[in-house]
Structure formats: C-alpha cells, structure tokens
Amino acid sequence: MTAPPSHAADSVPIVTASNGQPFMPCDAVLTLLRAVAESCRNLSDDPDCDLHSAGAAIDIEADALEARAIAATTGGTHHAR
C-alpha cells in the first residue's frame, strides 16, 4: 500500500485552544497561504490547468487541514475525503 500524498496543510501546526477549538498560529497560516499561492503559480504554467484546477487543489488542502483539526480536537484520526 502506498502512502497518501503529502499536503501543504500537513506541515501546519494545530493546537487545541482553551475552548477546545482547533487553533493555528499566524505564522502557520502565512505558510499555508504562501503554499497555496505557489501552487497557483505552478498551475498557471500548465496549459491544461485553469482556475478550476486551482480551486480543486485548494479544496484538497482544506480537506487535509480539516481532517487534522478534527483529529487534534477529538484525539482520533480522520481521513480527508
């Protein structure tokens, strides 16, 4: 079985705030946004990609981040769609 692909969101630290909600430090958000911007630039060089492709890539990163946030706040594991 092959390992799932890594996502930019996989390297973003997530902590649980005092209210039990997931929290990302500002520098982590900046890192994630810069990774999204770099991905969009990479897609812009591919003639087969458009804004729909960029949107799909962002959705995949959001799913990965959501899965990690759920796992961080429930103590379990959750896999992205």
Q: What is the pLDDT of residue 76?
A: 62
Higher per-residue pLDDT: 8 or 44: 44
| pLDDT tens readout for residues 14-48 | 888 888 888 888 898 888 888 888 888 888 888 88
Rounded Cα distance between 81 and 63, Å, is 7
What's this model's pTM, rounded to 2 decimal places? 0.67
Rounded Cα distance between 23 and 44, Å, is 31
Q: What is the pLDDT of residue 63?
A: 92
* Integer CA distances (angstroms), 49 to 36, 42, 66, in order: 15, 10, 25
Q: List the domain boundaries for the chain.
A: 13-74
Q: Is the pLDDT of residue 58 over 70?
A: yes
